[in-house]
Structures are given as structure tokens and as C-alpha cells.
Structure 1
């Protein structure tokens, strides 16, 4: 059996051991320590943000964003169905109700259907968007930048401004992705909406093992999110709490990893870009499949590569058959997540005109994309595909 090629694994070849050792030597290993502050400052500098708040996970960052935005049990939140479920679960944490929307060809939220839903299925009352079907206010919108691509933020922000929606960018897969043209030229994913959230899970482009980061347009809101993330301490000496808080602070050990990983981010992106281009060239002559492109006018981080299976007369293989073939050859691949509006906990919630997500669900397979993936491994993946 040939060597296993994983889908996406960490690349820990920088100063990780050095910085973690420093944290251990300092004996600050929990939710206090200089590495947390340093990681927050380094992230803010990289993103061009005023500040950033390190937290336990991307999911925690989304939860804090919704809490800080004032979303509650009376509200609804517009969400994509084509995403990992962690982008939607925090909506229920605050007691709000999700409304599911479709994707476009980028796999990100479809701005046309977003606008159509707001225009045709809702009404504005005193600046508040009201869902005609449920009569509940729609307070916020979660936009996920899927697989390192960028959603059409120019269109989405225009709709959000028209209908008074708070925009929470789930950039957990898109650290390093930014616009290279248009209104938001130079702006990173996660820095355009009211809140932006990043993840450092083990399969992300940089990792802290777990952990996340939150940025916000409003400094006061960001400080409030930090306050909530540290158990809402109003008096750290007497342990006085005026609100219910959360144990959402990142640890110093995790932050030490993050500092080292962030130093290498641009190098990781360069390698992933190079491998993407090799895949694209090699797959171009394979009938019935192609590599899904990223949106024009952006510099993506190339986090995940999406193999599009056309199911044409030239290729009778299905996504499931290819998944099995790669597995037999010791190559890890992954289908898109099960669509969230079809998941058991969410079947009872409203969905709007979902078509493209179901189409792509049947036709996308993610192929190996680690930042330490070697050219010969790319060639082996392609050879397996060509022999299918």
C-alpha cells in the first residue's frame, strides 16, 4: 500500500516549538500570558484591523458576534445552507431562528437570492426587516467564505445596508483571502462586515490546534465580546459579574502556536497556490471533471481545492464512486458537508429557493491540499483520477 495522502494537515515547521517552549517556561499556559496579546496584535496588523480578540474556537467567535450584535430569541438570522454546521449552530445558541439561503457558483451565499428574499418575502417596518411568513424581525446575516473563496461582498453589503442587516462574516476558511479589485480592493475576508471570525482548527491554513479570532468594525463591541469571553468579570479582584459570561478565551499555549503559524501564512498560501495550478493544469485534459475556480478580483488563500464532477456522457463516475476509488488508493478526499437545511435539527426552519446548493452537493469532492503537499503527491492524486 502506498503512503497515505491526507486531505489537509498542519504544517509545523517554523517557530512553533520555540514559542510554545517560551510559554511553558513562563508558566503561563492557560488563558493569560503574553502570547495571547501578541497573537491578537499580530492578527490585527496582518488584517489591517484596529484590534482582534482571541477565543476558544471559530464557533465561539460566531456566538460572541451574535451576542454582541444583540441577536436574541425574537429574531431570525439569514444563513447559507452550504456550509459546515458550526456556522449555523450559534444562531440557535442565542435562541434565534435560522432562515436558509442558497449558494451561487462560488459555493458562497447567492446575492441575487438574498436580495429577492428580502424584497419579496419580507417588509421593512421602521427600518426593521420583517419576515412576512413568520412575522419575526430578521436582524443579521451570516456570510461564509467557503473553501477560501470570497463571497460577493459588494452586492451582499449593499443588500444588507438597504435592509438594515448586521453582517457577520464567517471567514474561518478564508484567512489571507482579500479583494484585488473593486470597492473593497485590499480588504481581507472578515474585515468588510460588522464582525469577522477566523478559525485555527487542525485542518485550517494555520492552526493552533483549536482556537479562533474575532474582529469587529466597532471597537466598543469588540471589547464587549472580549468581556463576555472572559466570564464577564466586572471586578477581577472581588469576582463580581453583572452579566452571564463564557469561558471562551484562547490559551497562551495555543496563541504561541498561532504566532509561529501566522509568520508562515504567506508562504503557506504560495505553496497552496502553486499546487492548485499544477492540479488545474493536470486535470484540464480529464474528461468529465474540472477544478472549481475561485472568484475573479480576489487573492484567495487556496485553502481547499474543489473537484467538480460533471457527470456528463464522458464521465459516468459519481462523487461517491470517486470517493471510494481515492480511498482504496490511500488518498483522503471529502464531499461537501450535508446541507444544513436537510439536517435533522434544522428541517423545521424556513428555506428559500434552494437549488444550486443541492446541485453542487452531488458534484463536489475536495482533494488533498495541505500546505506541505509535495508535487509528486499531487501527481499521484491526478494519476488516480485519470485511471478512474
Structure 2
């Protein structure tokens, strides 16, 4: 099986050289737009490409507002603040995620609480969330409190893992029942869609982009994402006032004035530079083709997996994934480790799952629900090369 996999990947990418997990593709107007920015001298956050990138991302995702930031973690930090997360409170999230999800919670002075994921989506499980809140949630006049910790539960933060949409129908229902704001970490899910059936959305199916279901959502344009700005992120929201606050906070809370430097609160220097936005615009022009090619790549991997008796993570029912990172589900940790060692020794980069968040020293004391499914998956999941193929 291992030899066959290496042969497949080398045939897909048509090279005998090292094959990375995910690298960017610059085949459009990137150099032209970057040259335009340099010639204009507006290379920082003041420049027309920033506003244009925000407008076109909002249009692509179907959001009313988009606010560009220097990276996805900064976007998450501000989104959580705007959702009302305060120091000393808790945010419920998943342990199966990249560390930025939890770091953003920590930046707010809050603490993550980890509940389990669904095996079908790799995202936060509505049932696990409901079970935790039913057992430990206590409704008070000023919100929902965790009777175990004595802290207020401020928000729920699911992550669309590897571009596979979470069960948004279930998560929205639980959050609505308990009166909790939903903030989506869609850092990996640009180009991923989820469909709400008639009983959720009215008379007809409604298909929406990941990051547009909650009060706020967040995208990432890191160098390994489906499109990149080098480093960058985006806050999505339909709330005009939240959008105004997001832009204000990410621009050092500076009041508009021709020459005075007046600031009305503690803000952050989080705005995306014009250089990065120009790169992002050129990449965005290619995004539909990138998604199409990544889905075709996933189909090829799925064909190989089925022919060889290997499980592969497929997009959930009612969803269309961007297949940001294709993922195999192996038999156990021993097979996973053998596969990782063999493939990387052959110059084909593969990667295990991130360390589960409560296994990291800074989050070791955070509460969990046991994370049975998360730990089972962590022993078996492997990411395989997923760069766009031309």
C-alpha cells in the first residue's frame, strides 16, 4: 500500500523532487498587482487594494461585511472580543484544531473548554456540545454559566477542519437554545459550502459559505491556505455595527482626522497591508479554479483509497468541501507512524494531526468532556499532499 501511494503522488505532481504538503500557486496577476502597489508607494494598510479585497471576499462568501487583518489569529482575537468574550470567561471549542483557535481565546483573557468532535465532519459535535451544556450549564440573568467552574460561558467557537464544514444546523440549534453567540473559525474553509434544508431555512434549500452562519466568522490567508496573501486574515459578519467596530479596533482605534493622532480605546495594529491585499486579489481571481482542481485531486485520492481498502475523510452530507488538506484515516497509531516515516523518507511530505489542545502545556488544565472521538481520530489521521495540481 505505501509504495502504491508514493507512486500515485509522484504521478499526480509529475516530479521526482520533494513534494510538500501544500504550497501556494502564483499563476495569475500576482506580480502585476504587487508592482502596482510598489509603484504607488502605498504599501502599508492605507491603499486601495485593501478595500477592494475586502469587498470581493465579502461578495464571494455572501457576507455583508469583510474586514481584512494581518493574519487569521488576529481576526479570531477581534471576532471573539466583538462577540462579547471577556477576561475570566469561557469559550467552548474543540480540542482537534490548530493552536491559533485557543490562543485567540487566551488573548481575550478567557479560557477554552474542550468538547468532542464528530467523526463525520472532524468539527465540533452538536450532540457533545448539547450534552455538556445540559449537564453543566446554568442559566442566570446575565447569561449561561458553567456550574462546575463558576465562570460565564461567553461563546461557542467551532472550526471547519481541513475545509470540511461542521454540522452547522446542529450547532446553531444548540447555541440558539442556550443563548450563546456562535463564532466560526473558517480559517481552512475558504470555498467550502454548507446547505441548510427547508426545515432550517424556509421553503427552499439555502447554501451558504462557511464563516457566514455565526455572529462572526474568520478566514485565513496564510501561505499554506487555498489562496494566500503571504500572511493575512478576514473577519466576516452581516452586522454593520460589528463591522465598524472591527475596522476601528484593528486600526489602533484611531479616530478619523486630517492630522491628529487621537485614539478612543485600546486598539490593535491588525490591519492588512496593501501589499498583502494586492497578492490576495490576484489569488482570489483564481479561487474558483483552485477549488475545482482541489476537488478533482480529492476524487483521485478517493479512487485510490477505495481500491486499496484505505479510509479517507469525505465531505459531510449536505456540504461541499474545498478539500484544503486531504486526509487519510488509518487503522491505528502504529500504521499511522509507519506511514509517516515511510512517506517522508521517500520525499513525500505527510503530517499527523496537530497535538490535541489539552495535551499542550498551556492548555493542560482546561476542562474537557473526555474527548473520546478526538483522541481516537488523533491516533489515525494523516494529511497527504494537497497543493493545487495543474
TM range (shorter): over 0.9
Residue 163 (1) aligns with residue 178 (2): yes
Pair 127,73 (structure 1): closer, same or farther in 2 beyond 3 Å: closer
**Taking structure 2 as the reference length, what is the TM-score of the superposition?**
0.92
Q: Deviations over 1:151-170 (max 9, x none)?
A: 00111011111111111100
The alpha-carbon deviation at position 239 of structure 1 amounts to: 0.7
Q: Where do 1:194-273 residues align within 5 Å?
A: 194-236=215-257, 237-273=259-295
C-alpha distance 181-124 of structure 1, shift in aligned 2 (>3 A): closer
Q: Tell me, in whole angstroms, the C-alpha distance in 1 between the residues paired with 2:303 and 2:135.
A: 43
User: Is contact 1:181-1:298 (8 Å) kept?
Assistant: no
Unmatched runs of 5 consecutive residues or more in structure 2: 1-14
Aligned match of 1:43:
57
> Does 1:281 find its partner at 2:313?
no
Are 1:27 and 2:41 an aligned pair?
yes
Q: CA RMSD in A?
A: 1.4
- SS of 1:123's equivalent? strand
Aligned to 2:145: 130
Take 1:238 and 1:248, find their aligned partners in 2: how far apart are those partners? 20
What is the number of residues matched between the two proteins? 368
Q: Distance in 2 between matches of 1:297 and 1:153?
A: 10
Give the stretch that moved more between structures: 125-134 or 47-56: 125-134
- 1:60-139 matched pairs, under 5 angstroms: 60-105=74-119, 106-126=121-141, 128-139=143-154
Cα offset, 1:317, TM superposition: 5.2
Q: Assess if the C-alpha contact under 8 Å between 1:193 and 1:217 holds in 2.
A: no
Return the offset for 1:294. Answer: 1.2
**1:127·1:163 contact (CA, 8 Å) conserved in 2?**
no
Mapped to 1, the partners of 2:115 and 2:53 lie a distance apart of: 34
- What secondary structure, in the 3-state scheme, does the structure 1 residue paired with 2:382 have? strand
Tell me, what secondary structure is at the counterpart of 2:86?
A: coil
Alignment partner of 1:55 out of 69, 79, 85: 69
Q: Is the 8 A contact 1:47 1:191 kept in 2?
A: yes
Q: How far off is 1:235 after superposition?
A: 4.2
Match of 2:374 among 342, 349, 357: 357
Identify unmatched segments of 5+ residues in structure 1. 375-388
Does the residue aligned with 1:220 lie in a helix, a strand or coil? Answer: helix
Following superposition, the deviation at residue 218 of structure 1 comes to 1.4
Aligned with residue 194 of structure 2, among 179, 196, 215: 179
For residues 56-111 of structure 1, the C-alpha deviation after alignment (integer angstroms, 9 at most, x for no partner) is: 10000000011212211131110110000001111111111111111111210011
Is contact 2:91-2:153 (8 Å) kept? yes
Residue of 326, 336, 353 corresponding to 1:319? 336
Q: Distance in 1 between matches of 2:367 and 2:312?
A: 32
Rounded to whole Å, the distance in 2 between the matches of 1:181 and 1:133 is 34
Q: Which moved more, 1:228-237 or 1:163-172?
A: 228-237
Confirm or deny that 1:298 pairs with 2:310. no
TM-score normalised by length of structure 1: 0.92
